[in-house]
Amino acid sequence: MSKDLHSLINNLNKSEKRYFTQYLGRVSAKSEETIYARLFDYMTRAESYDRDDLLSKCSFINPSQLNNVRARLYNYILESLRAYHSEGSGRISLHQMMINYEILVNKGLFSQAVKMLKKAEKKASLLEGTFLLEEILELQEYIITRRLKSKKNKEEIITLQTKIQTRRATQIRQNELKWNRMLGYNLFRKEGRLTRNISSIKQFEERILKFKERFTLDENSYMEVYHSHLESSLLYRIQGKFQSSFNELEKLESFYNENLSYVESHPEDYLRYMINRVIALNMLKQFDTSLKTINKIRIMGNSAQTEEQRLMIFENTTFHEIEIYLYRRQFNKAVELVEKNLLTIQNSMEKIHTVNQQSKLYRIALAYFGIGEYKTSLRWVNQILNYDQMKYRKDILSSVQILNLLIHTELKNYTLVESLLRSSEIYLKKIGRWMTPEKLVISALKKYILYRKNKSKIFSQLSIDLANNQKENPLDEHFIAYFDLQKWIGNKG
């Protein structure tokens, strides 16, 4: 609890801290207010939590009561945050309305309870997809039928019953969309941005097609339009149909332009859409347009309302810009961007999901590899190889294996490379990435270990073999994520 309290307080912004001070004065007795306010002030200034230091500097707290005081302060802060964000967060205000409804029902004030439910219905309708909407409608029907028995309510009951049936039909469609979304995300976690094994996406593809056959999309439903186009875009991208993927996002762009209020009411959704747009543009190699989109996302950071939004904006703008420099072979620019933001990157890594951590670390490793700082590159690669939880995205896992071999080859660790060649082959087979490009690279490195004087000839032949294979299998261009091995070989020659 102690570290949690310190972390919570130090994540408050200035206006939240100011609001808490005012809130504390309203909800606590004067004597209590002084204790909590002083402890809050101490925690704000403390760099880390230290119990002995706290008791020394906060002598007004009896050591035996410290746990209770901390717990109470923690709850006061959460209460103040709920109050502070109730206007801005529809979900918080909706749940508060439902609490108000229960209070009114318990007091027997049924007419007022129905009025509160009607307000909640409007709010829940705006928060499309919330499970509470059907419950709110059913509660209205129950109160009007059982507690406000009147002939004039018959029409209202019929209207409510119609709404409930419509809502249930909508819920079926939205549940299907939810399953598609989960399946798409799990596929991304497993395969990465692009699969080279078409059978792996069969189930996801079938669900998307069945949804389109079975249901008519409600064009007035934000949730349905948003997720339908986003999941279709993901399917096309994983299949390697990058232009079709981008076209789905263009449809979503038109939808947002026609309904600008959704940009404000669903900021995180809009942010995810913009990030997916950058990814699609990068895959299409439209890097100038992608950079403009990244700058638009950065501007959104000025109005970000939550720490989650600010983190999403930082990690995606920074690392997608690095990605562009990698594709363009502007490795110096990539390294400059890394070093400019290194402290923020390191501090944010623990907040980023592991599935995203490994791709971020990999991009940094590639940047240093590109400028010939192989030892630095290796340190970043080892953070992936030595961390057991980084087992997502086959595109990154296989790329890291190849990059690791190339780094040690450049460092002339030939004995180690010989051993790594065997283990890498086993690993690539295990994850289903033992394909033609990987075989060609491993074979070339094996030859080089045996005939080191023929490095130029061996790598030139590798470049030719990769080019010939790519003509037959265009998606193999991306067998090493964010990196053009053939151009690197040509540059080395």
In a domain, 170, yes or no: no
pLDDT of residue 488: 83
Query: Is the C-alpha dihedral spanning 327, 328, 330, 334 positive or negative?
Result: negative
Of the two residues 338 and 66, the one the predictor is more confident about is 338
If asked whether residues 358 and 474 sit together in one domain, one would say yes
Q: How many CA atoms lie within 13 A of 152 on its CB side?
A: 1
Of the two residues 108 and 1, the one the predictor is more confident about is 108
Of the two residues 46 and 412, the one the predictor is more confident about is 412
In a domain, 12, yes or no: yes
Residue partners of 396: CB distance under 8 A and separation at least 6? 192, 358, 359, 362, 384, 481
Of the two residues 409 and 214, the one the predictor is more confident about is 409
CB 141 within 8 A of CB 129: no
pLDDT at residue 203 is higher than 80: yes
Of 38, 53, 85, the residue that ends a domain is 85
Q: Return the structure tokens found at 323.
A: 């990605």
Distance between CA atoms of residues 406 and 417, nearest Å = 9
Distances (CA, A) of 360 to 252, 285, 312, 322, 354: 27, 20, 13, 9, 10
Task: Find the CATH number of the domain harbouring 432.
Answer: 1.25.40
The 10 Å CB-count burial string (b at 16+, else e) for 301-337 is eeebeeeebeebbbbbbbbbbbbbbbbeebbebbbeb
Phi, psi of 469 (to 5 degrees): -65, -40
If asked whether residues 435 and 451 sit together in one domain, one would say yes
Q: CA torsion 378→379→385→390, rounded to 10°?
A: -130
If asked whether residues 379 and 473 sit together in one domain, one would say yes
Distance between CA atoms of residues 210 and 206, nearest Å = 6
pLDDT at residue 307 is higher than 90: no
If asked whether residues 65 and 122 sit together in one domain, one would say no
pLDDT at residue 155 is higher than 80: no
**What tens digit of pLDDT does each residue of 359-414 get?**
999 999 999 999 999 999 999 999 999 876 667 889 999 999 999 999 999 999 99
If asked whether residues 387 and 427 sit together in one domain, one would say yes
pLDDT of residue 130: 55
If asked whether residues 79 and 11 sit together in one domain, one would say yes
Distances (CA, A) of 251 to 144, 174, 207, 225, 231: 43, 19, 20, 9, 13
Identify the H or E element spanning 287: helix 287-300
Residue with tokens 């928060």: 127
CB 280 within 8 A of CB 245: yes
pLDDT at residue 355 is higher than 60: yes
Q: pTM value?
A: 0.75
Distance between CA atoms of residues 367 and 329, nearest Å = 9
CB 184 within 8 A of CB 235: yes
- Residue 234: Cβ within 10 Å count: 25
In a domain, 462, yes or no: yes
pLDDT of residue 86: 61
If asked whether residues 407 and 468 sit together in one domain, one would say yes
If asked whether residues 108 and 10 sit together in one domain, one would say no
Of 49, 67, 85, the residue that ends a domain is 85
Q: How many CA atoms lie within 13 A of 128 on its CB side?
A: 19
Of the two residues 162 and 229, the one the predictor is more confident about is 229
**What tens digit of pLDDT does each residue of 419-442 get?**
999 999 999 999 999 999 999 999
If asked whether residues 6 and 142 sit together in one domain, one would say no
Distance between CA atoms of residues 65 and 441, nearest Å = 65
Residue with tokens 């102690």: 2
CB 197 within 8 A of CB 432: yes
Average pLDDT of the segment spanning 131-154? 72
**What tens digit of pLDDT does each residue of 289-303 get?**
999 999 999 998 888
If asked whether residues 358 and 461 sit together in one domain, one would say yes
Question: By mean pLDDT, which of 52-61, 120-129, 220-229 is the weakest?
Answer: 120-129
pLDDT at residue 178 is higher than 90: no
SS3 1: coil
The highest-confidence range among 25-29, 388-392, 416-420, 460-464, by mean pLDDT, is 416-420
Instruction: Give the DSSP letter string of 140-169.
Output: HHHHHHHTS--GGGHHHHHHHHHHHHHHHH
In a domain, 69, yes or no: yes
Average pLDDT of the residues of the chain: 85
In a domain, 323, yes or no: no
pLDDT of residue 148: 65
pLDDT of residue 380: 95
pLDDT of residue 415: 92
Q: Return the structure tokens found at 459.
A: 């790598």
Q: Number of folded domains in the chain?
A: 3
SS3 221: coil
Residue 107 pLDDT class (50, 70, 90 cuts): confident
In a domain, 70, yes or no: yes
In a domain, 469, yes or no: yes
pLDDT at residue 20 is higher than 90: no
pLDDT of residue 370: 94
If asked whether residues 454 and 409 sit together in one domain, one would say yes
Residue 321 pLDDT class (50, 70, 90 cuts): very high
pLDDT at residue 30 is higher than 70: no
If asked whether residues 6 and 124 sit together in one domain, one would say no
**What tens digit of pLDDT does each residue of 462-493 get?**
989 999 998 998 888 889 999 988 888 876 65
Of 85, 106, 125, the residue that ends a domain is 85
Average pLDDT of the segment spanning 70-77? 86
Distance between CA atoms of residues 303 and 381, nearest Å = 35
Parent domain of 65 = 2-85
In a domain, 187, yes or no: no
Q: Return the structure tokens found at 212.
A: 């389109």
The highest-confidence range among 12-21, 85-94, 259-268, 319-328, by mean pLDDT, is 319-328
